[in-house]
Structure 1
Amino acid sequence: MMKKTVIAVVLSIGLFAAGIWPVSAQEHDMSMAADMSLKAGTTQQVKSDMKLTLNGKPLQLDEAYLIDNSLFVPYRAFAEGIGSEVGYDAAAQTVTVKKDNKTVKLTIGSSDADVDGSIHTMIGPAQLINSSTYVHSRFLAEVFGIKVVYDEAARTVNLVSGQKAANTYYVNIEGFAFKDGDITVEAGSTVVFTNKDKVKHNAVADNGSFQTNLLATGESESITLTTPGEYTYFCEPHKNFMKGKITVK
């Protein structure tokens, strides 16, 4: 009797280890459904409070969402906001965006984008949220040559279109002063701060729009300003006398 019991236990262990423990078809289907549900749940969708601007002017969108930390926007409002023509084919579940002789076709549920007949892969698929089609904002902007700059302090996505945005300006920190610290730049320009003193300095905007790290001798750090306006700034350790101003046109 003891021998039969031991054999039964061994067989049970063998079946379990081999992964062939018998299950019903219903249990198998439920397991598959749970697995699919788990995979679908890995995509994080959060309503976003980020603002968008185009050449410094607010871009009006009803809603935007962060999906796996990427900003998705309603394609029609966004596309029309950047000056595009839009279309929608309900039967094919396809949206079309046209601008500057370039045509982009996106299919709901697909990460493939047809750009003038050439297929490009987006960071995530065009998708329906509350019955509206949402697309990856950076892809749709950059495919039409629009520069995207994220201002983390202001939680603003700045789009720069139709203007030079690659100019670079240099401000040296020397003798406890910002040399040529009062400058005028174009929107989208880069300003590079370099410390030539033997003590640490930084550059901090009065309105909180930018702040460099404390820079040691010879160290540099750059900022990019896309919104027109005047940006007064100071050195945090020496704020009583080290000041400057950047005017963005």
Structure 2
Amino acid sequence: MENPSYASPIAGLPPQTALHTGRAVFTEAYALIPHGVMRDIVTSYLPHWADTRAWVIARPLSGFAETFSQYIMEVFPGGGSSQPEPNDAAEGVLFVVSGQASLTLDGKNHLLKPGGYAFLPPGIAWSLFNKGTEPVRFHWVRKRYEPVEGIAAPTAFVANENDEPIIWMPGTDNRWGTTRFVDPTDLRHDMHVNIVTLEAGAVIPFEETHVMEHGLYVLEGKAVYRLNRDWVEVEAGDFMWLRAFCPQACYAGPGRFRYLLYKDVNRHMKLPF
């Protein structure tokens, strides 16, 4: 894919004359956090991160989506962290949408440009700094890794979506597909963070209803998305947060529609006894 574009928060604050009526909603089955509410006033600051702020757009909530958290990190020039992850049991994925991040991963240096992707297994040593002159923004998805006896933990890797193919769904004339960074059958992995692409006019033609929790951050374009009982308009910079079994479908357009997708996979369901 040539020259993909990636949305990120607009930050700042709206003027005092702006109407406060918007699209933000939190329901029993899904939440929609539109880009217009990702402002300066809702950012968080994290321990051991210098000159950095974060939009926390998902966190485990009892009775809702419980498996993951997702941040949009903004690291200013000279900022970053040598102690980024406080939980040795956590795995993570980084996906850069603007700027350049200098990542040291298990002693090896990597420069992550827009489209850059890094998988961070639990317990690995890593650090990240902005050595450039412009802020760097990236998604950071975190999940407590679920080890399985007899199956090795996954290993770290770095990639870029521009080097990965889109795997098109059969029967869609290359109009609905997924850029996968991990083989779906690799049982070492208990989460996937992929990029879904729908060309203009493409659809998800049935109401997906499944056990996986989702975070969907719209990287590009707009669509009408079915979420539980509702059809909602979404566009670049919006975030959809879905609990398990929330019905979902999509009509994309007028242009290409793309989103970063989290889902939990490949593990037995926890039982309450």
TM-score w.r.t. structure 1 length?
A: 0.22
**The structure with more radius of gyration:** 1
Name whichever structure is richer in helix by fraction: 1
TM-score, normalised relative to structure 2: 0.21
